[in-house]
Structure 1
Amino acid sequence: MLHLRLIVPADRTDDVVRTIEKTVGTTHLAVVPGAARSPSGDLVLCDVAREAGDELIGSLRALGVAEAGSIAVENIDLSLSQRAEKATEEAPGESADAVLWEHLRDATHEESTLSVTYVAFLALATMLAACGVMLDNAILIVGAMAVGPEFGPLAGISTALVQRAPRLAGRCLTALLVGFAAAMVLTAGFAWVLDQLGLFERAMVEAARPNTAFIYQPDWISFVVALLAGIAGTLSLTSSKSGALIGVAISVTTVPAAANAAVAFSYRDYGQTWGSTGQLLANLTGIVLAGTVTLLVQKALWATQKHAQKRA
């Protein structure tokens, strides 16, 4: 169940209440006239089954509630109510299959905004990965993968393609390209400093590195892994199972590939630089492709499921 807290101009409250009442899957409707002060208006509260949430939020936006007032949505972890159970049963579709597009766009917007914090996390992850590839240490590679925040912009691009939102796509693409460019430049400088301190040396780059050589040797398995990770990551976002994102993060080699490309470039090993760049591009492309297809399939299946349940 979802809990909606609305601030509604007084002249639109009746329309909002009628919209909520006619939406299948809603319950616990409450109206507190004149309770809101900034902006002024009425406070409207209700609960709605997750599978009916996207439809209701879309209807409320069509009434201009988001522009003239506000729409706040919260997940309800526990609801002991027969009315809530009935609302969930009446709502078309299954809760686990429902996609809240507004929530998805908001989540990807927050995680894909180019900011100092975003670049810092990506740069730190790339530097950690640089230490991992130079030491041929798989544990450091895994840690760097978990720190990297790059899945947010990738998911944002997939969402923008499905929702035909060019501004969101542009913002995510900017965050991705600028973020990786800045991280790789900083990592190249980091490698130079450690070389001057005697902690890095060319022999580390040229060594066999059995644990991390795959990073600059892309193949079709790398692309397949990226596809699977993109599907899993997208499903975790749409189903609010954020814990799965950790597994996604440590299954693809975006950050390690960027790190190896930066370090190899600093030592003028252009063979590894191009190989690592190919690995990076294969992973980024695979994740975006899989994420986009997953969202399209979810959208189609959800529409079919709702239509079938309404006919029944």
Structure 2
Amino acid sequence: MLHLRVISPADKTAALMRLLEDDPGATHITLARGVAVKPHGDLVQADVAREGANQLLARIRAMGIPETGGITIGPIDAVMSDAADRAVEDAPGDPSDAVVWEKLLSDTHEESSLNATFVAFLTIACLLAAIGVSTNSPVTVVGAMVVGPEFGPLAALSVGLMLRNWALVRRSVTALAVAFPIAMVVTLGATMAWEHFGWITTEGVIDAHNVDFIYQVGPFSLVVALLAGAAGMLSLVTAKSAALIGVFISVTTVPAAGYAVVAVTLGQWHRAFESVGQLAVNLLGIVVAGVAVLLLRPRVGEEEGLVGRFKRLIGMRTVLPR
């Protein structure tokens, strides 16, 4: 379930309360009149079943509350209530299929921001990847995968394409198009310094067969990118954040960028081009898979979605914990 918190202008509170009371997926409804200071108004709170949140939020938006008040939604870690169980059962659709689009938009918008922190993490990840390539260390390469923050803008790009939110698309593309070159230029400077000190040699990189997978593009490169992108998007829309770690370790976006830089400094142009190809394949695969997952999820006004309708057709029933 989700916790809904609304600052409502006094003249709209009665209509909002009727809306919540009539909604089968809303429960634990409370009202505190006149307690909101900025903006001024009444405080209305409720717990809402995920599968019914989209339509409820759309109706609240239609009342004009965001313009004069405010709406806040957040996850509930645990709830012990028969009323909450009934709300989940009465709400249309399946909780496992539910995507709260407003929350997803908010989360991905934040993750797609081009800022110093994002650039710093991506730069550190590329530096780790370059070290892993130069020392033939898969463990260091895996560390670079985990540190890399690039999945945030990629997920936001998928959401933007799905919802035709071109502002989010531009924001995500800008973050990737600016941060990757900056990270690679910094890594280029560091790599040239390491070569000057003799820490990196052409022979050492050529003989580093434990990390050949980074630049060797094959059919499984796209397959892995598609699977990782699908798993990553599912982890976002179902709040299974632990699965993202597996996604980070699966894809070779940052390692490919780091390998390309090292290969260029050593004059290994064929490996550099192959690494760039690996990077492009992984980026494209993640975005395509993310869009595909979102296409299967229910949208506002469509509680079941394609997966839910398939379950109904084959007679499957979701058993909810009591």
TM superposition score category, shorter chain reference: over 0.9
In structure 1, the residue matched to 2:271 is: 272
Kept after mapping to 1: 8 A contact 2:33/2:42: yes
1:282 aligned partner: 281
Report the counterpart of residue 56 of structure 1 in structure 2. Answer: 56
Q: Aligned-pair distance for 1:308?
A: 9.6
How far, CA to CA, are the matches of 2:211 and 2:133 in structure 1? 6
Report the equivalent of 1:69: 69
What TM-score do you get using the length of structure 1 for normalisation?
A: 0.95
Aligned length: 308
Distance 1:165 1:262, change over 3 A: same
Superposed displacement of residue 202, structure 1:
2.4
RMSD (CA atoms): 1.7
Aligned-residue offset at 1:17: 1.5
Query: For 1:159-174, what aligned pairs fall within 5 Å after superposition?
Result: 159-174=159-174
Task: Identify the residue that residue 246 of structure 2 maps to in structure 1.
Answer: 247
**Distance in 2 of aligned mates of 1:167 and 1:88:** 34
1:262 maps onto 2:261 in alignment: yes
C-alpha separation in 1, matches of 2:14 and 2:198: 73
C-alpha separation in 2, matches of 1:66 and 1:261: 47
Q: Distance between the aligned counterparts of 1:245 and 1:307, measured in 2? A: 27
Quote the residue 2:222 is aligned against. 223
The whole-number CA distance in structure 1 between the counterparts of 2:114 and 2:83 is 43
> Residue 250 of structure 2: SS of its match in structure 1?
coil
Gaps of 5+ in 2: 313-322
Deviation per residue, 1:232-259 (Å, 9 max, x gap):
0000000000000000000010000000
Q: Could you tell me which of 282, 295, 304 is aligned with 1:302?
A: 304
* SS in structure 2 of the partner of residue 299 of structure 1: coil
Q: 2-side partners of 1:139 and 1:307: how far apart?
A: 42
Amino acid at match of 1:34: G
* Cα offsets for 1:51-105 (capped at 9, x unmatched): 1112212221222222211111121222221111111110112212100111111
Residue 319 of structure 2 corresponds to: none
Q: After superposition, where does 1:130-145 map in structure 2 within 5 Å?
A: 130-145=130-145
Q: Give the secondary structure class of the aligned counterpart of 1:35.
A: strand
> For 1:107 and 1:180, how far apart are their aligned partners in 2?
21
CA distance in 2, matches of 1:65, 1:250: 42
Q: Percent identity at matched positions? A: 47
Amino acid at match of 1:299: P
Q: Which residue of 1 aligns with 2:95?
A: 95
SS of the residue corresponding to residue 241 of structure 1 reads coil
Instruction: Tell me whether 1:9 sits opposite 2:6 in the alignment.
Output: no
Partner residue in 1 for 2:22? 22
- Structure 1 residue aligned with 2:191: 191
1:137-177 CA-partner distances (Å, limit 9, x unpaired): 11001111000000000100110011110000000011011
**Aligned equivalent of 1:232:** 231
Contact conserved, 1:264 with 1:273, CA < 8 A, in 2?
A: yes
What's the TM-score, normalizing by structure 2?
A: 0.92
What is the match of residue 292 of structure 1?
A: 291
Output one character per residue of 1:172-230: Cα deviation in whole Å (capped at 9) or x when no partner: 0110111111111111111011112221222223x232211121111111110000001
2:316 alignment counterpart: none
CA contact (8 A) 1:160 1:166 kept: yes
Question: Which amino acid in the other structure matches residue 148 of structure 1?
Answer: G
SS at match of 1:199: coil
Q: Does 1:35 align with 2:32?
A: no
Q: Higher mean Cα deviation, 291-300 or 33-42?
A: 291-300
Cα 1:302/1:181, change in 2 over 3 Å: farther
- Asked whether the equivalents of residues 256 and 279 of structure 2 are also in contact (C-alpha less than 8 Å), the reply is yes
Segments ≥4 residues shifted beyond 4 Å: 306-309
DSSP-derived class of the 2:209 partner: coil
Deviation at 1:306, TM superposition (A): 7.8
Q: For residue 117 of structure 1, give the secondary structure of its aligned residue in structure 2.
A: helix
Q: Displacement of 1:307 after TM fit?
A: 12
Task: Give the letter for the 1:41 counterpart.
Answer: G
Unpaired runs of at least 5, structure 1: none
Supply the distance in 1 between the matched residues of 2:279 and 2:250 (Cα, whole angstroms).
Answer: 13
Equivalent-residue separation in structure 2 for 1:26 and 1:40 (angstroms) = 24
